[in-house]
Structure 1
Amino acid sequence: MTTLDPRPVILTGDRTTGPLHIGHYAGSLRNRLALQDSHRQFLLLADTQALTDNAHDPAKVRRNVLEVAMDYLAVGIDPAKSTICLQSHLPALAELSMLYLNFVTVARLERNPTIKDEIRQRGFGRDIPAGFLCYPAAQAADITGFRATVVPVGEDQAPLIEQTNEIVRRINAVAGQSILPEAQALIPEAGRLPGIDGRAKMSKSGGNAIALNASPDEIAAAVRAMFTDPGHLRVSDPGCVEGNVVFTYLDAFDPDRAEVEALKARYRVGGLGDTVIKRRLEGILQAMIAPIRARRAALAKDLGYVLSVVREGTERARERTEETKAQVIEALGLFRL
């Protein structure tokens, strides 16, 4: 049996499709650091989920498992406080997914706003990988497998938590008891950062992200290239703050809120050049990323340690998820040998 721990349980994680970037840091990693003392936290290296739209390139998914794990450790995730685990090595999650698919319809999966939007973005049409369509059930298995009650997600992912709770309520109703807890979405205040080009989504593959291990030159080049206000041609011109990526990033990372608001006011009336605000942002990002980059470089020289963290965390996670699976099977009254 797992050790009793009264703290609320958090499940979070990332698809292993590439190293993480500052958008991940603003949107989730900072929250994870803040919560790892007050909560029992599981961080899932979601390699199985990554295959739902990367099955043509499993090598990409495999090689990024330790990349993401290194990012976790480099930003300060403590494996003594947070459990880092590998999704594909937790068979109970796959078994729960199969069970849960009997408690949801294809029509309901297709109506999920998050899934509908991502199908459109990827241009699947009707050629939707079945694993992708069934992802809400798989995520429900991930969340309930750890018996998580708190799930940090972006606002666009909230419908997935709603669907998880629908499945939980159906299973509890059939079982005649509250065998599974419902989960609450924890939506970060910062929200999703746009890419440096002003596009809605920051993406390593899209070339509009700043990696957590970016070099000083890469950071400087990225800030220079940032989208500001195309109508702000001269320093004396009034500028638009809304949609200006530099100010969006200052809102996310600059600790001096009063100074940021003062800069916004000057920019709006004219008299403040893009070079000034970009220089300020670059200094903040350089200072933030430098220690992360250094820790990550050290970890890259000791991959045996990184692998041991993932192995040990996966063992702990396997114990917990197997317990949950056994409880669900028992509660549903399935045949036991």
Structure 2
Amino acid sequence: MYPDRVVSGMRPTGSMHLGHFHGALKNWIKMQSEHPCLFFVADWHALTTHYDDPAIIERSVWEMLVDWLAAGVDPSQATLFIQSKVPEHAELHLLLSMATPLGWLERVPTYKDQVENLANKDLSTYGFLGYPLLQAADVLIYRASLVPVGEDQVPHIEMMREIARRFNHLYGKEKGFEEKSIEAVKKLGSKRAKLYLELRTEYQQEGRDDALDQAHAMLDEAQNLSNIDRERLFGYLEGSRKLILVEPHAKLTAASRLPGLDGRKMSKSYGNAIALREDKDSVTKKIRTMPTDPARVRRTDVGDPLKCPVWQLHEVYSSNATREWVVKGCTTAGIGCLECKQPVIDAVIAEQEPMHERAQQYLDDPTLVRAIVADGCDKARKLAQETMRDVREAMGLSYS
């Protein structure tokens, strides 16, 4: 069984906004102290929608990395790297594409959503259709167990699991696998071997997930197994295949959908975002001009917070007492919309102050960011190369 590992990435389409912070970065910052984490800039993914203007990508890469560091991502705890600097991502993407059904790509919900929302771009390319598969390769190549994402990305994680499962089924065939697995079982000792076989039967015949979990825990504790025997026994638990790629799980954030200024999901492409390191005056102006409940045409009109985009920001930024004040004031016309918006403005500016401070050292000396990324790329590539050695061997491509 491979150790818990977190992998996530973002496309460098410009500076980060608060939606990225609340939807992903806050979770990254929390997880970096709990698990080994790899966070990457998905510059190849940026080409799926910016293939006709790649010049903006390089600038966006470094801007985004500074935003990550400003938000609190710590290079001493997490590995930061750039996707295109680890070419094994592309190799695994190519090999996975050979056995991935076309229908799996066409049914991903975000594919249709993006086509509709970015109607001004020609997205009838293989790169755009195939980006969920490249996304799968980005994660599977590190045998990650957890992927921190927003709700809209959950179908992608489910597809990654299906791809890993299909790959293991097609290529996890090892000559004499069952015989070798039975020999590995004996190495557990008579007591543990008996328990292992009982748990395997309970899982395979009765579908008991708790039996699978118990068996995994027992194998993790077994000291006298080689890595290859341990891997065989994990595969033997679930069937008669060697596990080569790990099925990842989605790790959702509590506030994975911070609304934009117009109430839709915050997105730079929608023009409704507040940048992570935006100027105070600009933040104030944007929030003060946000649309509110259409029923409040005049100051004296009562409103309904649930029909107002500003309320969704209060749910993220305001205390219970402030939210109670908003509900009472809005539903009785006791406060105006500008009064309602001020606590949000204050909270956003307060949240951004330390980000401005952390970013300054990297703005003053850009070589600091380059050094962090160079080190991260080296670490990531070593892990990726290990996986690709196993993938090539499984697919019969390890000949010389």
Alignment TM class, shorter chain as reference: over 0.9
Corresponding residue of 1:66: 62
Give, in angstroms, the shift of residue 222 of structure 1: 0.9
Give, in angstroms, the shift of residue 127 of structure 1: 5.4
Moved over 6 A (4+): none
Q: TM-score, normalised by structure 1?
A: 0.93
- Give the length in aligned residue pairs: 331
Residue 265 and residue 191 in structure 1: after superposition, are their counterparts in 2 closer, same or farther (change >3 A)?
Answer: farther
When structure 1 is superposed on structure 2, of 63-72 and 171-180 the one drifting more is 171-180
Corresponding residue of 1:178: 243
Unaligned 5+ residue runs, structure 1?
none
Residue 113 and residue 124 in structure 1: after superposition, are their counterparts in 2 closer, same or farther (change >3 A)?
Answer: farther
Corresponding residue of 2:392: 329
When structure 1 is superposed on structure 2, of 206-215 and 51-60 the one drifting more is 206-215
When structure 1 is superposed on structure 2, of 106-115 and 88-97 the one drifting more is 106-115
Within a 5 Å distance, the mapping from 1:92-131 to structure 2 comes to 92-123=88-119, 128-131=124-127
| Cα displacement string for residues 221-274 of structure 1 (whole angstroms, at most 9, x for unaligned residues) | 1111112112113444321212422211121123x2343244224323432221
Does residue 153 of structure 2 align to residue 157 of structure 1?
Answer: yes
The question of whether the paired residues in 2 share the 8 Å contact of 1:53 and 1:129 is answered with no
Does residue 262 of structure 2 align to residue 266 of structure 1?
Answer: no
Amino acid at match of 2:273: A
Picking from 215, 232, 254, the partner of 1:189 is: 254
CA distance in 1, matches of 2:392, 2:65: 32
Corresponding residue of 1:307: 370
When structure 1 is superposed on structure 2, of 179-188 and 259-268 the one drifting more is 259-268
Picking from 207, 222, 226, the partner of 2:286 is: 222
Residue 110 and residue 40 in structure 1: after superposition, are their counterparts in 2 closer, same or farther (change >3 A)?
Answer: same
| Cα displacement string for residues 171-221 of structure 1 (whole angstroms, at most 9, x for unaligned residues) | 1112131111111112222132222133x1323344321111111111111
Amino acid at match of 1:283: D
Q: TM-score, normalised by structure 2?
A: 0.78
Over aligned residues, Cα RMSD in angstroms? 2.0
When structure 1 is superposed on structure 2, of 285-294 and 304-313 the one drifting more is 285-294
Larger radius of gyration: 2
Amino acid at match of 1:209: A
Amino acid at match of 1:95: E
More helix by share: 2
The question of whether the paired residues in 1 share the 8 Å contact of 2:79 and 2:380 is answered with yes
- Percent identity reads 37
The question of whether the paired residues in 2 share the 8 Å contact of 1:101 and 1:137 is answered with yes
Corresponding residue of 1:55: 51
The question of whether the paired residues in 1 share the 8 Å contact of 2:92 and 2:141 is answered with yes
Does residue 311 of structure 2 align to residue 240 of structure 1?
Answer: no
Residue 208 and residue 116 in structure 1: after superposition, are their counterparts in 2 closer, same or farther (change >3 A)?
Answer: closer
SS at match of 2:143: coil
Residue 227 and residue 91 in structure 1: after superposition, are their counterparts in 2 closer, same or farther (change >3 A)?
Answer: same
